[in-house]
Amino acid sequence: VEFLYCDLASMKSIRQFVQRFRAKNCPLHVLVNNAGVMMVPERKTEDGFEEHFGLNYLGHFLLTNLLLDTLKQSGTHSHNARIITVSSATHYVGELHLNDLQSRCSYSPHGAYAQSKLALVLFTYRLQHLLTANGSHVTANVVDPGVVNTELYRHVFWVIKVAKWMTAWLFFKTPEEGASTSIYAAVSPEMEGAGGCYLYNETRTKSADVAYDEELQRRLWTESCKMVGISDESSRVP
């Protein structure tokens, strides 16, 4: 195991990480996008993005795009490279506000978190469409880990914290159990060549209806490229 530092809340840090990784000239067969914050007070990343959207979504969007060439070079016809992005069941109640992605008009910690998780599902489906259109040996899937007993809940209301402390042993998954579907997506032979899936408990599941809106996927992708400062290569793909 080798550690390379990367702060997903910093576009500069992400670009520096990718440079360091590329310098190693290593193949990249699996990328798991798993960083995140949940229901934090209203605050911004160093780049001025609302923290849920900037870290949970835009950080992974930029990281994935900057590593895409390496992933494409690493995948083969019989062994595709795999991109796994961790979303949440919260995306089912999320609303994507394309005119206010930074939640400036009305900030709600739960709303901002749900929007970031919905954005990850939309991103995954659009990414798989582009990978397929380009004939790339890379698949992209999105995972719902379930309710997992981690420090992600540090910013929730104290009443919820108490309830979590009392019931975690019964209703919450352990971190190991929470990781199982991500691992399944990353290494299972059953997922070889399969992309554009929403997985829960190692099973392909239907995501929110709005996530299948291809026009919304395209618009979010285009806007995301502008926000992180990369060219929108998808404009040539229907």
220: which residues sit within 8 A by CB, 6+ positions away?
96, 98, 119, 122, 123, 126
Enumerate the β-bridge partners of residue 31: 83
- Asked if 125 is an active-site residue, the reply is no
How wide is the angle at C-alpha 25 spanned by C-alphas 24 and 31, nearest 5°?
90
Q: Among the options 57, 113, 153, 198, which is catalytic?
A: 113
Radius of gyration over every alpha carbon of the chain, rounded to an integer in angstroms: 17
Which residue from 228, 226, 222, 220 is spatially nearest to 62, judged by alpha carbons? 228
Q: How many CB atoms lie within 10 A of CB 24?
A: 8
Report yes or no: 66 and 33 within 8 Å, Cβ to Cβ: no
How far is it, in rounded angstroms, from Cα 222 to Cα 123?
11
Residues with catalytic function: 113
